[in-house]
Each structure stands twice: as structure tokens, then as C-alpha cells.
Structure 1
Amino acid sequence: MKRILIVEDDPYIAELQRDYFQLHDYEADLSLDGSEGLNKALHGGYDLVILDLQLPGIDGFEICRQIREKLDVPILIVSAKKEEIDKIRGFGLGADDFITKPFSPNELVARAKAHMARYERFTRMKQEVPQATIDIRELSINKASHRVFLRGKEIMLTVKEFEVLVFLAEHPNRVFKKEELFERIWGFKSNGEIATVTVHISRIREKIEADPSNPQFIETVWGAGYRFAV
């Protein structure tokens, strides 16, 4: 039976969520405090965590950040906060979904089920085709399915962005000039079209780097080109 942790300081909402998950044959535990919720999330072996943001002790943003640093588990934020900046921050910290209150309990269960299934597929995919997967720190690139995951969250790349990322990751710590990357990926001489490479590198960084201005994966070697740092 799948186990779900609900971290919510409103007892009525928390119990409502638990009742709906139990009706769908899930085991659901409650925590009304942020500090207790974080401890349970890190050590309870749950299959999914549901977080409110405004919590006593530790807020939901910090809980999300600490969970994502240590665990590969779906995180759903359910909050009364509706501002776009809160959603961006939540996703940036590693949340898989953001649901605003009031919400449909059935929709919450459906989304939770979908996220758990997606994580299961990701785990199974890594086990079945390890030869087609490149794992570097929290980044996972599956060449067979053309999918990229960062801390368990899928990153959507265009075909060319994916090809650039795979090529660099398959040649770690090696520096490639922009002209060489263009010829290897696009298949013909650059003829000065190296700006295309710069744009694609920039887009990839925006999607996989925590701080695109200080990249930890794709580094710029000034005067030489780019390298994938391992």
C-alpha cells in the first residue's frame, strides 16, 4: 500500500485529505507542524508528500527544499497562496505540483496518483535500460526515451537541446569549441553560425542549472569553449 504524508496545519483540511486518500486505498499520515512534518518526510519512507506553505515551525518552502536535497519523492504543494511568485518559488525548490485552495479532493488524489506513477516509471526505466542512461549528480539523461530528469523532476528539452546536452555529458571534462559543437550536433560547418550554439547552451542552463549565471554542469572555458563538469 502506498504511503502518503500530509503536512497541513488546518486539522479539518488535513483530515479531509486523509479521508479521501484512504477511500482510494492509500495509507495517509498527518502532521500539523512543519518541524515534525520535515522529520517524518525525511525518515518515514513515504511515496509522496503533500505540503501546505504556511506552517508553524518550518514553512513549506523550506521543507520542500530539504526533502528535495535528500530524497527522490513526489512533492505536491497545496496552499492558499495564489501569487505567481509563490508557484515559481515552489517549483524552483523542487515541487512537482502546486494546487491552490480551495481544491477538489478528487483532483488532489488524481494528481497524486499520476505523480507516483510517473516516479515509478522513472525508477523502472533507470533499472531496465542502465546502458542508455547517463547519471551525473542529480541529473539523469535517458537516451532511449529522450527524457531528462533533474532531482526526479522531468526537464523538457527541444531535440537539439537534448542532443547538445547528451553530447557534452558523454564527453565529460573535455572542452569543445563552439564551431566543433555546431559541426558535431548540426552536422555541417558552422560558417560563423556559432551564435546558435550559444543560444542552445543558454537555454539548457536555464532548465538544468540552479543558477544559470554560475553553472555547475555546463561550464564556459573563456576563449576555448564549453565543457560538462563532472
Structure 2
Amino acid sequence: MNDSPILLVDDEISIMQMVEMVLKKEGFSSIYKAKTGKEAMDVIRQKAVDFIVLDVMLPDTNGFDLCEKIREYTDAYILFLTARVTDFDVLTGFEKGGDDYVTKPFNPLEIVARIKAQLRRNHHKKPVPILHHKKRHDFGHFVLDEETGELWVEGKVVPCPAQVFLLLLYFCKHPNRVLSKEQLFTAVWGYEHMADDNTVMVHIRRIRERIEPDPGKPIFLLTVRGLGYKLVKESQS
């Protein structure tokens, strides 16, 4: 059995029941359900959850606004369920603090696959001797501290959502190397196939908004056309 607590937020009872059934078959035992934003917040204030499957359209609010409130309480992995597929809606979801999304109609096995992929990514982190593990990544203008989970830019801590932090951390561990969207998606989100490339692109933009002096003219996180992205670090002698 898997005891990672999951919260399902959707006003369509049949969808919640379907996802719950598949999750239970896959060994997840701690599953909470909410039909409204209010019910969801009641659960979040009382329970520690690791994953939240959040419908965008709710009777008393919308998932985007609810996501912002949720982020005041938890860094749980938030997966949006949405019938909205425009770039604007996808961008909005990420900007509000979401980590990923699935469009309706969907196969509940896809939800399970994404949750399991995230669990694998978390559980398969292998400890390495501290002498061989650089926990502070210093790029001069900004510093990423793995141990504290903090991003410092020009000497000040800058708020950084979990997936943005993890993506930047992956870049920091592979400086001056061109990384494709597919590589990044597999390494950071934990599964191989992208529904589209919005996920990586939006998170790249969110990184640039934090670390670049001018996000419109990046000097650290560069686009290598046709290949991917590269985080530039000058060699220090």
C-alpha cells in the first residue's frame, strides 16, 4: 500500500469516484475528496497531503484562485484537471502555482502514472557523500542552495515554487550543457512523454523572471534554437 495522501477536488462525483477507484487499485490508501473550494481548504488546513488533483471549474471558485490559497499552506504537487486547453489557461495554471495539468476527457491511469512518476523521482534520490556533493550553486548574480531550498538573487531570498526550483537545480547541476525539452521533462517531471511543450517553456520563463537582470534578454538561461536550453556559468579558476 502507498500511504502518500492525495486530495481529489472536483464537483463531478463520477470523476472523483473513477479516479479514486483506480488509485486504490494501484495501492494508494489515503485519499481525501472535496467537491468545492471550501471543502478543499478544510481538508488542507487539517491534513497533510502530498498530491492534489484539482479541477479548474468548481461551483464556488475556480481552480486557479484556489491554487493560490492552497500555496499559502502547502507545497504539495498540484495537478490541474481542465477542459481549457488554450495557452493562456495553461500559463495561468502554472503562474498560480500548479505543477502540471491533464486535459479532459482523460484516462484516470494517466493521473496515476504522473503521481507514481513523481513518487519515483522523490524516492530514487540517492544520497551521496557530502564531500562529493555541491549543495550551493553559485552563479554570482544568483545562488541556489539545495540544503535550504532557497534561491538567492543579489543577496536576497526570492520565492521559488517547487517545480521551478527543481528545474533550476537540474540546470545548475549541468552548467554549460544544452538540455532538450524532453530531457528536462523526463528529469524533473519524471515521465518521458510531454503532452505538449508548454510545461517546460512556462517554467523556463518563471526561472528567467527570478534570476535574470532582464528576463527579456537572458544572459544566464539561454535558448539554443532547435536544441533546447543552456544555463551558462563562467569557469572559475
Amino acid across the alignment from 1:111:
R
CA distance in 2 between counterparts of 1:128 and 1:94 reads 33
Q: 1:132 to 1:159 in 2, by over 3 A?
A: closer
Matched length: 165
CA distance in 2 between counterparts of 1:41 and 1:56 reads 18
Shift of 1:19: 0.7
1:155 is matched with which residue: 159, 164, 167? 167
| Superposed CA RMSD | 3.4
- The reply to whether residue 6 of structure 1 matches residue 8 of structure 2 is yes
Any idea what the Cα deviations from partners look like across 1:32-74, whole Å, max 9, x if unmatched?
A: 0111112313431112110001112232112222223432221
- Hey, what does 1:168 align to over in structure 2? none
Amino acid across the alignment from 1:6:
L
Q: 1:84 to 1:91 in 2, by over 3 A?
A: same
Work out which of the two has the higher radius of gyration on C-alpha atoms and give 1 or 2: 1
- Hey, what does 1:181 align to over in structure 2? none
**Residues 56 and 64 in structure 2, CA contact (< 8 A), matched pair in contact too:** yes
Identity across matched positions, percent: 26
TM (norm. structure 2) is: 0.58
Q: Which range moved further: 10-19 or 32-41?
A: 32-41
CA distance in 2 between counterparts of 1:119 and 1:57 reads 34
- The reply to whether residue 56 of structure 1 matches residue 53 of structure 2 is no
- Hey, what does 1:28 align to over in structure 2? 31
Any idea what the Cα deviations from partners look like across 1:2-51, whole Å, max 9, x if unmatched?
A: 21100001011111111111111113211001111123134311121100
Shift of 1:132: 3.1
After TM superposition, the structure 1 = structure 2 runs for residues 115-194 of structure 1, keeping only pairs within 5 Å, are 115-120=118-123, 132-134=134-136, 135=145, 139=150, 150-153=160-163, 154-156=166-168, 157=171, 159-160=175-176
Q: Which range moved further: 63-72 or 86-95?
A: 63-72
CA distance in 2 between counterparts of 1:110 and 1:205 reads 24
CA distance in 1 between counterparts of 2:93 and 2:25 reads 28
Amino acid across the alignment from 2:76:
V
**Residues 41 and 70 in structure 2, CA contact (< 8 A), matched pair in contact too:** yes
Matched residue of 1:71: which SS? coil
TM (norm. structure 1) is: 0.59
Q: Which blocks of at least 5 consecutive residues in structure 2 are unaligned?
A: 137-144, 153-158, 178-202, 215-237
CA distance in 2 between counterparts of 1:205 and 1:99 reads 20
Matched residue of 1:75: which SS? strand
2:82 is matched with which residue: 76, 79, 82? 79
- Hey, what does 2:112 align to over in structure 1? 109
Amino acid across the alignment from 2:206:
K
Matched residue of 2:85: which SS? coil
Any idea what the Cα deviations from partners look like across 1:175-213, whole Å, max 9, x if unmatched?
A: xxxxxxxxxxxxxxxxxxxxxxxxxxxxx994336xx3x
- Hey, what does 1:19 align to over in structure 2? 21
Shift of 1:218: 6.3
**Residues 44 and 73 in structure 2, CA contact (< 8 A), matched pair in contact too:** no
Amino acid across the alignment from 1:95:
G
Q: 1:95 to 1:205 in 2, by over 3 A?
A: closer
- The reply to whether residue 68 of structure 1 matches residue 71 of structure 2 is yes
- Hey, what does 2:142 align to over in structure 1? none
Any idea what the Cα deviations from partners look like across 1:103-132, whole Å, max 9, x if unmatched?
A: 01111110111123334457x76x985973
